[in-house]
Structure 1
Amino acid sequence: MRPRSQEAGEFLREGIREAAFYLRQLHFVRNISIFNWQSGNRTVTGQPKDNMDTQVRTPQAVFMQPQRLLVPLFQRPYVWNEEMQWEPLWKDLVRVADRVIQKPLEAQLPHFLGAVVLQQMQSQAGDLQQRTVIDGQQRLTTLQLLLDALHAELTQAGAAVPAARLRPLIANDEAFRRHKEDQFKVWPTNRDREAFNEVMAAPPPVDYAALTHGESRMARAHAFFAEEAREWLFAQGVDAVSSRADVLERCARELLQLVVIDLTPTENAQEIFETLNARGSVLTAADLIKNFVFQRMLEQGANVEEAYRRYWAQFESPFWEEEVNVGRFNYPRSSVFLNHWLISQTGEEVVAREVFTRFKAYVDFQAGSTMIELLREIDRAAGIYRSFIEKADILEGPLDRLGLFAYRLQTMESEVVKPVLLALLDRPVDPLPAEELGRSLDIIESWFVRRMLIRATAKSYNKLFAEVASLVKATPAKAMAAALQSFFTTQTAETNYWPDDEEVRNELTSLPAYRRLGRGRLRMVLESIEDDWRGWRRGQTSAAGVRIRRGTYAIEHVLPQSWHRHWPLSSGGVELERDARIHRLGNLTLLSKKLNSTLSNGPWHGANGKAAQLQLNDVLLLNSHLLKEFGATTWDESSIDQRTEKAISTILSIWRVPDGHKVATARASETPSINVEIQDLMLAGSLSAGQTLHSPRGKHSGHTAKVLADGCLEVAGVTYNSASLAGIAVRKQRTNGWYFWRLEPGSRRSLNDLRNEYLRSLGQDVVTDDDTGNRYVRFWTQFSEGLTSAAGPLKPHKPAPQNWTALAIGRTGFWLSLFASPREDRLAVELVIDRDLAKTRFAPLRDQAPEIEAALGFELEWEELPGSARSRLRTVRRESPIEDESQWPTYITWLVERANAMASVLRDRIRSLP
């Protein structure tokens, strides 16, 4: 065991070496960081050109001195968001803090945040020192928002001393201020300046709703960090707040690191900026580890060429170089494997950004092996890893328990379980017997599938399964299944409990599975039911001897989604009750070939009926059992309920829990939908600045929109801050820009397709356009019937598959727009006044607001839309999710009454305006 001081010194040297790696990977090679490893005293040689200063610095070192870091006007505005940057940064900080709490006396490994490039500016004596931010303004701005939010929460929690230590990092002392804005350490672009200044200057507790720029990304970032900090500080009760405050503040100041490249005033900043952002070739974790491993082997006198050929060359083959999706990003499989291997070895959560750093720490302080021995271990684990991945891709024929487990977990995109699989399988000493392995996989799979079916949160899976990997590593083979069962049955938190039979049954009985579960996951569940009915049960082999072919069958509705023509309601039947059952498990089956719409929507009986078509697929018991039990009768709501109950019973049998298992965990409601903007797609790499979007074929073909660096769209030289406003500029009427703008000329692929892919990458369920459209057609059809019955001044239009409709207010030339928006959870009726008329029509109407609202009998929201010359007045009903079709009569009545009232009251007033 080496002394703490030696370990700390080693961490420092490794940090410098990582900085050098980073600089070289960015091709910043005019004279920077040429590596020369000397045995026993590894140093970095080579000096940057023009006295350029390159250091690894903490936020304390970056922000402590009085200064202003100025973001040039030409740089893009602040675009980081919660899903892609704020939440990962917060998790990184908390991960470091948790390690400090668990091992307070050990040398702590800092978390590396990346690089920033600054350039010194000439200033007069006595002026505040300034630097231009050449690269890294998003990172620096976010750090300021994080530190200020921490300061506010520490102050509110009574932790005055740690709060005081943060204060110099977020505000320049008054002695250095000549102007009010001199208090800020970072000075954003013009567009972001007001929002940044407002939230940073707001006294705690910050009332975000009262901020003028409360909806800006700056304010939202500040609010996110404040809420997360408050929750973390009080997580162990009031008594622990003081000690946790000290840890969190210390980690934010001292245990985050940046590579700071500080240019002299004479350095060519533009050349460097282009080098960093255009010609850089990012090294993967596998690249960095490879360099590290073989440099060490040279030091240890090993045969490097032989070791490379035997143990590493495989990682440069197509299988290992293939990029795989993990959460929100793509990584080479070799890097993902090394991440999973590290977790299996350490029993700790290791995020992708920390793989290289954590690998070095493992080698130096935990492995206890020579580098050649470690390479042999990695090689052995890689063979195991590749084996179960390839088994998951076997879609037909015999499959052992491990292969079936790998396939099912692959359909659920559950990468987090792979470190546990490695820990279970890579046991050269005390290997698991096949029976014990099977029981262990049964337990893990049941836990995963049951949580997927009830759509429980996956928020803490990475941390939980790192803990499971640690448990597996420490458990004797003969006790493995018992240990895993005990672990999962004793979990009580909402993020990790094992759902019992009652909860799963209650959830699936009314779950619209076709809409709520991803297609691959739903297909896997139906395949599993089919295999079970064929006799492939736990420890049993089917008499038929053949499993269903996996991943290829089409999911079909027995009672079609468009049922009105050929499937009349029985006497006393209720349309809403039938619609509620369309997407349930009992109404779904698998077919070898998807039926065309005519056959799919056809009647139950007859030569071309649905029953006859299913007969052609009777190789599947899902269909033959259905026909045997219900073929001679009418397939209706009762039939769906019976078959749903049978499917649920099979599911509970396939994915069992221990006898008597019950949980008493109150599960939170589903995670709300994520609001996606064009900037989010740009950050995810789906769109890029300068890319051209195209209008669809038809009446409006030939128009284009250019994607700008700040997420706006430019059409015919005019800038619009949303896709819909850009679409309105082309169509001259209300337009959903996500569906309007296409990625290629004549293509059907739209911005909405990119948005759905982004949402899926975040683990969000995405409802298909067909499902949504059918629901809206039914909703607006019922609305039209209600509007006609009311005999008011408005006349209905043909229902369309969208979340809005528009109604003309007589011959005034004005229209009312009606919205039924599940994403915003609201109903609304609004009058939008176009840009050409806004100045002459909106203000006079607003002057009459008291009289108008008195005549209506309800208040209106009067709004000038930001970023547009348009204005609107509207009435809104909150908390009206139209997914609950039982509430449609109430919602439709509200819309009809409000729309007719607004048309009646506004018609004459609009005509009287100049």
Structure 2
Amino acid sequence: MAIIKQAARQTLGQLIGANNPVVTVPDDSQRQYSWTKKEVDVYWADIEKFKDGRESGRESSSEYFIGPVVTITAETASGRALLDGQQRLTTSTILLAVIRDILWQTNAPEAKLSANNIQRDYIARKSGRKDPMEYFLVLSLFDRDFFRDYIQTWSEISGECARTEAATRPSHHLIKDAYNNLYAKVRSRLQSMADDEDRLDYLDLLRECLIYGLVFVEIQTPSSSDANEVFETINSRGKDLSTVDLVRNFLMEKSTGSHEKDRVNNAWRSLLDDFQRREDIEKFLRHFWVSKHGDVKSHSLYVTIRKSLTEHFDQRPQVYGVGKFSAELENAASRYAELISQNTGDSDFDATLSEVKALSADALYPLLLSASERYEYHEMQALLQAALSYYVRWTVVGTRESTLLEENLFGVAKDLSKGESLENAAKRVAGWIPDDDAFFAAFKEASIPKQAQSRYLLAKLEAHLRSDAGIHEEISFGAGKVHVENIYPSNPEVHLKVDDHDSWLNRLGNLTLLSGKRNQVTSVRPFPEKAHIYSSSSMLISSRAQVASLWDSETGRWRMQGIVERQDYMARIALSVWPSSINVG
């Protein structure tokens, strides 16, 4: 059971500031800044609502409880180590910096004095001209320098931060976004005010709300193990802490010395540098574990990892420790980053990986990650082709239960990590691909409401038609270059709307590709008014794939049997595009 020294009410001004112990986010525990626009918007809405209530004079609105923070406050320690509350304290400091900067920009002597006071009292200060800067909130090593450069190290002469540090990590971009978002919100409020006096009053009241009205409960613990236990308990009831953060804290807790702690930090530095989005790190961690141990759901991932690794780490003699796990994680991260960014160095393999991304076929990544540990990318092409055909035939077109597909692929990934051969793994996957009769029947009836999937299917059919026609010109299917078009439109003229309208709309036989962005006006017109667009299109799926069969020129009405005929034609092509028979060596 965790030991709690005390739980004390603290305002923001009592937690951070010149007269308080410095609050430091330890390097060996805690995540990076992770609030997106969504969380910052909620925070700002709460602050505005609180400010309005506070100004009304109601006693019930004099304070705003924003949540608990967990700190380590050992008797011999100077300052406070922050285990929980980083996001709220960091965002509050950013908002104070916004108030500081806007005050300075008004150019009024009184405003500049207030800006200087905010900086010195609640963000950072120098005791003497030659003394080092003292920062009242110190972030962990991953964000520390950038946060200081962008928010904290502010010149009382120029009224600006240096901002010379490049944003190299997802958390850096989020810090910039939070500042810009809050700056825009405060500026927007000020624009509606009549004169400078009103604007200065608003800024001063906003500052007071933050410093004196924003209230936390500080839970003080004597050690990192106690703090981590409280930390996990609090965050197990909400979304404040991610699995990635919990795993890192756990590894730090289990590290037996500075060498292992450094190993964990090096692994986490690689994770932050390899991935552009925090979501990719979260996804990687699950796929890494699945690639070695089989299926585990996201909600139980941390508990599963902790239980399994604890058994290994507590063995005596220890054969598998924190250092080895961290090394495996770091090595896998670089390979995973290559897979999801299609940057393996093998052009054919990367081209097929782009199809995985286009379909959001994430279930394939644990299998590929596992195989890449022992095999070169060019050796994995057959496995990837088999897995992709399996995914398209089973899930995208067949619309069968994806759980079974995931269990199968995750099981092969686990067996690969334990030594199964690549050839045998590819044969197993190929054996699960639905046969031609089943795929043909499913394709003829397929309705694909997800545009990313329909776009992918049509693009692959287009590539096949081009190959058969001997056309080798490359077509860019990037955003804005080609769009999916409903031939029979989603909003037809009333007298042309058919029965069971919705059931026909996303049938593959009713979909085609056209160059450029979609023209809504043209899209809803009767077929004769847009027939020339299809017949002259550079997309063969439009100009040579029976589009005209959807219109009955004699009756001047849409012909639904044309969708059936065109889809049957497309289904025959699809048998070759996503084959059931894969040469696996």
The alignment's TM-score, normalised by the length of structure 1, stands at 0.34
Superposition map of 1:127-142 within 5 A: none
| CA distance in structure 2 between the aligned counterparts of 1:562 and 1:311, rounded to whole angstroms | 53
**In the alignment, which residue of structure 1 is the partner of 2:283?**
336
| CA distance in structure 1 between the aligned counterparts of 2:68 and 2:520, rounded to whole angstroms | 56
Superposition map of 1:211-230 within 5 A: none
| CA distance in structure 2 between the aligned counterparts of 1:19 and 1:453, rounded to whole angstroms | 56
Amino acid at match of 2:430: Q
Deviation at 1:368, TM superposition (A): 4.0
Q: 1:376 aligns with which of 322, 327, 344?
A: 327
| CA distance in structure 1 between the aligned counterparts of 2:357 and 2:390, rounded to whole angstroms | 15
Q: 1:354 aligns with which of 294, 301, 309?
A: 301
| CA distance in structure 1 between the aligned counterparts of 2:293 and 2:278, rounded to whole angstroms | 25
Could you report, residue by residue, the CA deviation over 1:311-349 in whole angstroms, capped at 9, with x for unpaired residues? 3313335935x343xxxxxxxx32321221111122353
Contact map agreement 1:581 1:587 (CA 8 A) in 2: yes
Shift in alpha-carbon separation, 1:576–1:466, aligned structure 2, 3 A: same
Amino acid at match of 1:641: V
Matched, 1:559 2:488: yes
**How many residue pairs end up in the alignment?**
361
**In the alignment, which residue of structure 1 is the partner of 2:439?**
504
Superposition map of 1:271-670 within 5 A: 282-297=240-255, 299=256, 302=259, 304-305=261-262, 307=263, 310-317=266-273, 319=275, 322-324=277-279, 333-349=280-296, 351-355=298-302, 357-359=304-306, 361-362=308-309, 364-365=311-312, 368-391=319-342, 400-427=347-374, 431-432=375-376, 434=378, 436-451=379-394, 452-473=396-417, 474-486=419-431, 488=432, 498-511=433-446, 513=447, 516-535=448-467, 544-550=472-478, 552=480, 553-563=482-492, 576=499, 581-605=504-528, 609-615=529-535, 618-626=537-545, 634=553, 636-658=559-581
Could you report, residue by residue, the CA deviation over 1:334-391 in whole angstroms, capped at 9, with x for unpaired residues? 2321221111122353534333542552464399444333323221210111112112
| CA distance in structure 2 between the aligned counterparts of 1:308 and 1:278, rounded to whole angstroms | 23
Shift in alpha-carbon separation, 1:356–1:384, aligned structure 2, 3 A: farther
Superposition map of 1:769-784 within 5 A: none
Contact map agreement 1:440 1:480 (CA 8 A) in 2: yes
Amino acid at match of 1:289: V
| CA distance in structure 1 between the aligned counterparts of 2:413 and 2:235, rounded to whole angstroms | 38
Contact map agreement 1:349 1:466 (CA 8 A) in 2: no
Shift in alpha-carbon separation, 1:598–1:424, aligned structure 2, 3 A: same
Contact map agreement 1:27 1:279 (CA 8 A) in 2: no
Secondary structure class of the residue paired with 1:517: coil
Contact map agreement 1:408 1:524 (CA 8 A) in 2: yes
| CA distance in structure 2 between the aligned counterparts of 1:457 and 1:291, rounded to whole angstroms | 36
Contact map agreement 1:556 1:594 (CA 8 A) in 2: no
Whose helix fraction is larger, Structure 1's or Structure 2's? Answer: 2
Contact map agreement 2:366 2:410 (CA 8 A) in 1: yes
Could you report, residue by residue, the CA deviation over 1:488-532 in whole angstroms, capped at 9, with x for unpaired residues? 2xxxxxxxxx43322333333244x2xx53121111111111122
| CA distance in structure 2 between the aligned counterparts of 1:400 and 1:564, rounded to whole angstroms | 47
Could you report, residue by residue, the CA deviation over 1:805-834 in whole angstroms, capped at 9, with x for unpaired residues? xxxxxxxxxxxxxxxxxxxxxxxxxxxxxx
Q: Determine which structure has more spread, i.e. the larger CA radius of gyration.
A: 1
Secondary structure class of the residue paired with 1:506: helix
Contact map agreement 1:529 1:647 (CA 8 A) in 2: yes
Higher relative contact order (CA 8 A, sep 6+): 2
| CA distance in structure 2 between the aligned counterparts of 1:391 and 1:642, rounded to whole angstroms | 37
Shift in alpha-carbon separation, 1:643–1:281, aligned structure 2, 3 A: closer
Contact map agreement 1:349 1:463 (CA 8 A) in 2: no
The alignment's TM-score, normalised by the length of structure 2, stands at 0.51
| CA distance in structure 2 between the aligned counterparts of 1:507 and 1:362, rounded to whole angstroms | 44
Secondary structure class of the residue paired with 2:453: helix
Superposition map of 1:722-801 within 5 A: none
Gaps of 5+ in 2: 6-28, 32-66, 78-218, 220-229
| CA distance in structure 1 between the aligned counterparts of 2:4 and 2:451, rounded to whole angstroms | 44
Secondary structure class of the residue paired with 1:423: helix
Secondary structure class of the residue paired with 1:591: strand
Could you report, residue by residue, the CA deviation over 1:51-101 in whole angstroms, capped at 9, with x for unpaired residues? xxxxxxxxxxxxxxxxxxxxxxxxxxxxxxxxxxxxxxxxxxxxxxxxxxx
Amino acid at match of 1:441: L
| CA distance in structure 1 between the aligned counterparts of 2:383 and 2:254, rounded to whole angstroms | 38
| CA distance in structure 2 between the aligned counterparts of 1:460 and 1:510, rounded to whole angstroms | 22
Shift in alpha-carbon separation, 1:601–1:313, aligned structure 2, 3 A: closer
Gaps of 5+ in 1: 1-15, 37-260, 262-271, 325-332, 489-497, 569-574, 660-914
Amino acid at match of 2:525: G
**In the alignment, which residue of structure 2 is the partner of 1:694?**
none
**In the alignment, which residue of structure 1 is the partner of 2:109?**
none
